[in-house]
């Protein structure tokens, strides 16, 4: 998935009200950027961080910049826009680039369960549909270990329960962790942050919900699906 507009570097001043960030552009101007991330962004919103933002001239948008990436001191990148994983994964699914998920149809945001919408419903002739729920991983507290969630997520727990019910009905359900960070090698559940989610994850996995994780190739030009990563129990 290529960014529509070339990204430009900036320095983070502060993030506030969840969806806003004060930033300093290379020419010294201080502006407000939209932050498309409702999570805690633990470790990703420190003052002075080098970030990359996407300019826009859309008169319908209130802000002229959108915060897309964090560039770490060691040259690794983290994508902070939580809308990107679904777009990047959909592109890969449509191109049959995900092993085990090469299906003929890819339908986004399909109603299922109790007032829920699954991220993708995959269909193909001669095989059961796959209900695919996507979660974005950006938290890293130990070198190489990505964790989800980065804050308590009642919504994430509900999705686990919905996927478990799908399996009970005889269909396939996949929980897909898309790691939007280039320095992560394996994925785990952050049980200390959300014990209820961790318990729900263990129950869903034991109940037949399939779990996958993939990393991303990230640069200021594009974000594309990378390689499969192990998911720890």
* Composition of the chain by helix, strand, coil, percent to 5: 15, 45, 40
Angle (deg, nearest 10), helices 195-206 and 154-168 = 10
CATH of the domain at 116: 3.40.1350.60
Tell me the β-bridge partners of 120.
Answer: 108, 132
Strand order in the sheet with 139-142: 139-142, 144-148, 184-189
Tokens coding 190: 């952050």
Same structural domain, 67 and 158: no
User: Which among 110, 112, 129, 204 is positioned nearest to 160, based on CA atoms?
Assistant: 204
pLDDT digits (tens), the chain, 233 positions: 899 999 999 999 999 998 999 999 999 999 999 999 988 999 999 999 999 999 988 787 889 999 999 999 999 999 999 988 899 999 999 999 998 899 999 999 999 988 889 999 999 998 999 999 999 999 999 999 999 999 999 999 999 999 999 999 999 999 999 999 999 999 999 999 999 999 999 999 999 999 999 999 999 999 999 999 999 98
pTM for this prediction: 0.93
Give 84: exposed, middle or buried? Use CB within 10 Å, 0-12, 13-18, 19+. Answer: buried
Domain encompassing residue 18: 8-76
Same structural domain, 40 and 120: no
Q: Distance (Å, rounded) from C-alpha 26 to C-alpha 11?
A: 8
Q: Is the peptide bond before 149 cis (omega within 30 degrees of 0)?
A: yes
Residue appearing with tokens 């945001």: 109
Q: Distance (Å, rounded) from C-alpha 8 to C-alpha 133?
A: 32
Give the pLDDT confidence score for residue 94 in this predicted structure. Answer: 95
Q: Which of 58, 76, 94 is the last residue of a domain?
A: 76
Q: Which of 76, 97, 123 is the last residue of a domain?
A: 76
89: alpha, beta or left? (left if phi > 0; alpha if psi -120 to 50): alpha
Tokens coding 206: 């034991």
Query: Do residues 75 and 64 touch, judged by C-beta distance below 8 A?
Result: no
Q: Distance (Å, rounded) from C-alpha 34 to C-alpha 83?
A: 13
Same structural domain, 62 and 94: no
Q: Distance (Å, rounded) from C-alpha 75 to C-alpha 113?
A: 42
Same structural domain, 41 and 98: no
């Amino acid at each position: 998935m290529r960014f529509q507009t070339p990204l430009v570097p900036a320095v983070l001043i502060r993030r506030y009200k969840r969806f806003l960030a004060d930033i300093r552009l290379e020419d010294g101007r201080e502006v407000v950027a939209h932050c498309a991330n409702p999570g805690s962004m633990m470790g990703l919103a420190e003052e002075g961080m080098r970030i990359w933002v996407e300019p826009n001239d859309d008169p319908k948008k209130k802000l002229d910049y959108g915060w897309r990436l964090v560039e770490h001191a060691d040259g690794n990148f983290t994508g902070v826009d939580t809308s990107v994983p679904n777009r990047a994964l959909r592109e890969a699914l449509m191109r049959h680039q995900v092993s085990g998920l090469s299906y003929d149809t890819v339908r986004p945001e399909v109603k299922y369960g109790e007032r829920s919408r699954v991220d993708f419903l995959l269909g193909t002739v001669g095989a059961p549909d796959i209900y695919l729920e996507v979660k974005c991983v950006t938290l890293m507290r130990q070198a190489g270990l990505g964790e989800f969630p980065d804050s308590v997520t009642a919504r994430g727990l509900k999705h686990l329960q919905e996927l478990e019910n799908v399996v009970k009905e005889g269909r396939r359900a996949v929980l897909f962790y898309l790691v939007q960070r280039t320095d992560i090698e394996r994925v785990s559940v952050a049980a200390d942050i959300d014990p209820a989610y961790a318990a729900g994850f263990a129950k869903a996995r034991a109940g037949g919900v399939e779990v996958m994780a993939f990393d991303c190739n990230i640069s200021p030009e594009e974000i594309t699906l990378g390689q499969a990563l192990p998911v720890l129990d």
